[in-house]
Structure 1
Amino acid sequence: MSEQQNSSLDVPLGRIVLVAATAALGGFLFGFDTAVINGAVGAIGERFGVSGFLLGFAVASALIGCAIGAWYAGPVADRLGRIKVMIIAAVLFVVSSIGCAAAFSVWDLSLWRAVGGLGVGAASIIAPAYIAEVSPAGIRGRLGSLQQLAIVSGIFVALLTAYALVAAAGSATATLFGIEAWRLMFLAELIPAVVYGVLAFTIPESPRFLIYRGQRQRALKVLHKYVGGDVERTADEIERSFQGRTERPKLSVLRGPSRRIYPIVWAGLGLAILQQFTGINVIFYYSSVLWQAVGFTEQDSLIITVITSVTNILTTVVAIVLIDKVGRKPLLLVGSIGQFASLAVLAITFATAPVVNGEPLLQGAASPVALIAANLFVVFFGCTWGPIMWVMLGEMFPNKIRAMALAVAGAAQWAANFVVSTTFPALSEAGLGLAYGVYTFFAFVSIFFVIKFIQETKGETLEALSERDG
């Protein structure tokens, strides 16, 4: 079914955007929760007297929770519904925010970070799935990209909050209102977490979930109000797409008649893993420490990270404009090439810099070259792999395996994030040129991965994609 056949957008655009934006608030918390550690990491190391592996573990502990949350979010969403998973995620964010702010050691901080990670993992899976399931095909890419826009906005607000608190207190370890600034960074997450939980009660359940649970009439009302077109025909197609679906989702649903895993599942896993293996989250987790290491002050380093996050927001807006016009695959290919080139410049710049007291010293033109290359990397990521990976994971899998396939791909994405985040301190100690050289290699691999394994999904209904890929 073509984009035009699916819907001429005979439902109000604002209504659809509001529902998608509410679901995408989980992405905002996703971004805030994962980036807030950037401004606090130095203070945490000083406060608890840890460095190296233990500090890296505190940073990455949330990612363990993310992988677990993503793994279970899909099956739980099939049993309880998409909305209930959002509410559960909001509660986890609230608990984590309070726990991290009150932490008395690096170990309980890591525990509360992992609790927040459960919420992040669940939100990262449920938002793209839900948005894809309530969106008309012709604008599904743009609406799905709201997830990434929310993520990068959350990163921006977290970094801006960190900068403002450090500026007000004097440093992340100084007190403000009787509380250490780094603790206030975590406590600030309470506000969006509560808003997310409250608004989740105001949006409709996914029509795909409702039909799967035998609630066709409720699904028809949602389709009529938010998707439009021939809703009876759409409901019939959804019902057909669930034929052969087991009552309780299991990993076995990812295997076809030949007992081999569906190729589309491998493609989703590749997308999820390669998005992380180019090292994007090194920029957002460690950039303030990284720029301090090469000569910038703490406040200047935080300003740079804020500028980088603004760049990420602007490039995501570009992706929203282009994704349903240009298509997913061409943008991914451009992104892979651009990331490869910018990472190669970073790798060469750091590898050739003189080392002073164990740290590379960027002199002369090397400093602005590194800054420009790092921001170009963010530009290419933000326009392409950042939003498109989430959009495609939400739409590329057939209905009957979507929840489980999303769970596996999401868990793999967070596992890859964990690997990159925990290995970066050790890699950087061996040399930043080596670290960025590794990320450059995976960016190079991603070029050929996109060419060979990614199929275009622009403008097709989820049920048409189910027939093609299932």
Structure 2
Amino acid sequence: MSTYTSPTSVAGHTANTSAVVRITIVAAIGGFLFGYDSAVINGATGAMREYFGVGPTALGSAVASALLGAAAGAALGGRLADKLGRVRVMRIAAILFLLSSIFCAIDPFFGPDMGGFYWLVFWRVVGGVGVGVASIIAPAYIAEIAPADIRGRLGSLQQMGIVLGIFASQITNRIIVGFAGSAESSWLFGLDAWRWMFLLEAVPAIIYLVGAYTIPESPRWLVQQGRRDEAMTVMVRLQGQAPAEHRMSVIERTLDKEHNPRLSDLAGKAFGLKPIVWIGIGLAALQQLVGINVIFYYSNQLWQSVGFQEGDAFTISTITSVTNVVVTIVAILLVDKIGRKRLLLIGSIGMALTLGTMAAVFATATVTDAGPVLGDTAGLIALVAANLYVVFFGISWGPVMWVLLGEMFPNKIRGAALAVAGFIQWIANWLVTVTFPIISEASLVFAYGLYAFFALVSVFFVVKAVRETKGVELEDMHD
């Protein structure tokens, strides 16, 4: 297990909070694109299935293809950030988002056959690499920029960006369908509505790219590169003279004992890895194995399959996204007050109960040739349970997992450990996403029962393994 020392207080702490927040917001735009890119396909799945004539297995592969790219991006992101700097890697991620959004919409090789389908999958993978890079670089950068006393709240802005991106994609999809008539219909300039869903991602991608030219490099990375004066300038601007001098001395002292992070640094006696690395892997995997992205990737298709009309399904998905945004705000307000571990525990218990309720409700569905159909009462209970599940996830595992991954690892292994945890997070995401269409066709009861089981596992994991990091400086984290 990791142990943490108490944070060192510094007199005269005069952090420039407004500057720190602005910089953090720019970094969190990567999270917005992460959420938008991940969820935008929710509105396009039905149209894609019709256009390309593919079955549930191929559809699941298309939805999950971006996640494989994200796993690769997460695995590479930490190493790239250590070599090129945090900000340059953000710019690379922005360009990947931009290319993916354009070519998913207007690739000339697209056609209503498997060849066109494979091109779409390729460009989804490209966007996924951007997602993976952004998912790793934002928590690390924010943790290195933020003062310890507000680091949890600022780190949570990554998740706020994600949920706002999900919400924006749902709203955008709903508006496009409202004007076009359906996701399959042609809309502006003869482009299919579902293609416009992808194309509009280019707008935040450009904003992210421009924004990444307006923020400073991580002071810790600058010191590591021997650029002490630049690092000191950034630290003074963000935290004030006295805190900056103190943090600079601590960073330099820890760097004297370190080298660039590498995977071999993660080796330990606990099944080949350090215990803290296993904790990070557990956090990353469980965040996805509770099935949260089933709600955001497949909710339209799910609610239509149990009797709701397409317009109603879009409305339900939008309400769910709004709920996610609101509870993430609550999490931001709470994470530095009541701590990371307590929030995770509350979320785990709540998710286990609500997912269990959904499994029980779907067990009452009437099975027809078109699929399961819920009655009025059962449908209402399922909607309430699904949204309560999002509430419990949104105040806990959604933001807190990213906060912990950004701050829990010692400096000497942070880049490598983040890469491993990020890779596992995206592989777990891919596994859940690609298997849901197959499992749900066989039994929605089994699908939600399985996610409830992992939520229950997360309760015991938090109690036994997770250590509190509230208020602890990064340089004070130890194995």
**Category of TM-score, reference length = shorter chain:** over 0.9
Aligned to 2:106: 102
Does the 8 Å CA contact 1:64/1:117 hold for their aligned counterparts? Answer: yes
Aligned to 1:214: 226
Tell me the CA shift for residue 11 of structure 1.
Answer: 2.5
Aligned to 1:382: 394
**% same residue:** 55
Is the aligned partner of 1:431 residue 2:431? no
Aligned to 1:169: 180
Aligned to 2:113: none
Does the 8 Å CA contact 1:69/1:122 hold for their aligned counterparts? Answer: yes
> Deviation string for 1:104-161 (max 9, x for gaps)?
1111100000000000000000001000000000000000000000100000000100
Tell me the CA shift for residue 230 of structure 1.
Answer: 2.6
Q: Distance in 1 between matches of 2:167 and 2:376?
A: 29
Tell me the CA shift for residue 217 of structure 1.
Answer: 1.6
Does the 8 Å CA contact 2:170/2:317 hold for their aligned counterparts? Answer: yes
Aligned to 1:70: 74
Q: Distance in 1 between matches of 2:403 and 2:450?
A: 26
- SS of residue paired to 1:142: helix
Does the 8 Å CA contact 2:268/2:275 hold for their aligned counterparts? Answer: no
- SS of residue paired to 2:363: helix
Q: 1:137 to 1:294 in 2, by over 3 A?
A: same
Aligned to 1:32: 36
Aligned to 1:245: 258
> Deviation string for 1:40-81 (max 9, x for gaps)?
111011111112111111110000100000000000000000
- SS of residue paired to 1:220: helix
Is the aligned partner of 1:128 residue 2:144? no
After TM superposition, the structure 1 = structure 2 runs for residues 428-467 of structure 1, keeping only pairs within 5 Å, are: 428-465=440-477
> Deviation string for 1:333-365 (max 9, x for gaps)?
000000000000001111232211152211131
Does the 8 Å CA contact 2:12/2:243 hold for their aligned counterparts? Answer: no
Tell me the CA shift for residue 460 of structure 1.
Answer: 0.8
Q: Distance in 1 between matches of 2:265 and 2:79?
A: 12
Residue type of the alignment partner of 1:65 = G
Q: Distance in 2 between matches of 1:242 and 1:450?
A: 31
Decide which of 212, 227, 233 is 2:246's aligned counterpart: 233
Residue type of the alignment partner of 1:203 = I
Decide which of 305, 308, 318 is 2:330's aligned counterpart: 318
Is the aligned partner of 1:143 residue 2:147? no
Q: 1:48 to 1:79 in 2, by over 3 A?
A: same
Tell me the CA shift for residue 242 of structure 1.
Answer: 2.8
> Deviation string for 1:377-428 (max 9, x for gaps)?
0000000000000010000011111111001100100000000000001110
Aligned to 1:418: 430
Tell me the CA shift for residue 227 of structure 1.
Answer: 2.8
Tell me the CA shift for residue 240 of structure 1.
Answer: 2.6
5+ residue gaps in structure 1? none
Q: Distance in 2 between matches of 1:124 and 1:7?
A: 34
Does the 8 Å CA contact 2:7/2:476 hold for their aligned counterparts? Answer: no
Aligned to 1:409: 421
Is the aligned partner of 1:111 residue 2:115? no
Aligned to 2:198: 186
- SS of residue paired to 1:360: strand
Tell me the CA shift for residue 246 of structure 1.
Answer: 3.0
Q: Distance in 2 between matches of 1:403 and 1:454?
A: 20
Q: Distance in 2 between matches of 1:370 and 1:53?
A: 25
Residue type of the alignment partner of 1:388 = V
Aligned to 2:20: 16
Tell me the CA shift for residue 244 of structure 1.
Answer: 4.1
Q: 1:13 to 1:447 in 2, by over 3 A?
A: same
Does the 8 Å CA contact 1:7/1:227 hold for their aligned counterparts? Answer: no
Q: Distance in 2 between matches of 1:420 and 1:173?
A: 26
Does the 8 Å CA contact 2:40/2:173 hold for their aligned counterparts? Answer: yes
TM-score relative to the length of structure 2: 0.95
Residue type of the alignment partner of 1:321 = L
* Deviating 4+ runs (over 6 angstroms): none
Moved more, 251-260 or 327-336: 251-260
Does the 8 Å CA contact 1:7/1:137 hold for their aligned counterparts? Answer: no
Does the 8 Å CA contact 2:27/2:142 hold for their aligned counterparts? Answer: yes
Aligned to 1:268: 280
Aligned to 2:407: 395
- SS of residue paired to 1:365: helix
Tell me the CA shift for residue 253 of structure 1.
Answer: 1.1
> Deviation string for 1:302-324 (max 9, x for gaps)?
11001000000000000000000
- SS of residue paired to 2:396: helix
Aligned to 1:329: 341
Q: Distance in 2 between matches of 1:330 and 1:243?
A: 35
Residue type of the alignment partner of 2:244 = V
Residue type of the alignment partner of 1:298 = E
Q: Distance in 2 between matches of 1:454 and 1:137?
A: 19
Is the aligned partner of 1:304 residue 2:316? yes
Does the 8 Å CA contact 2:73/2:129 hold for their aligned counterparts? Answer: yes
Aligned to 2:52: 48
Q: Distance in 1 between matches of 2:272 and 2:148?
A: 30
Q: 1:422 to 1:22 in 2, by over 3 A?
A: same
Q: Distance in 2 between matches of 1:9 and 1:367?
A: 53
> Deviation string for 1:79-108 (max 9, x for gaps)?
000001000000000110111002411111
Q: Distance in 2 between matches of 1:202 and 1:440?
A: 43
Q: Distance in 1 between matches of 2:373 and 2:100?
A: 38
Aligned to 2:367: 355
Residue type of the alignment partner of 2:343 = L
Tell me the CA shift for residue 256 of structure 1.
Answer: 4.7
Decide which of 282, 288, 293 is 2:305's aligned counterpart: 293
5+ residue gaps in structure 2? 111-115
Is the aligned partner of 1:83 residue 2:87? yes
Tell me the CA shift for residue 257 of structure 1.
Answer: 8.7
Q: Distance in 1 between matches of 2:196 and 2:11?
A: 47
Residue type of the alignment partner of 1:20 = T
Q: Distance in 2 between matches of 1:355 and 1:430?
A: 11
Q: Distance in 1 between matches of 2:452 and 2:313?
A: 23
Q: Distance in 1 between matches of 2:369 and 2:81?
A: 52
TM-score relative to the length of structure 1: 0.97
Does the 8 Å CA contact 1:3/1:138 hold for their aligned counterparts? Answer: no
Aligned residues: 466
Is the aligned partner of 1:369 residue 2:373? no
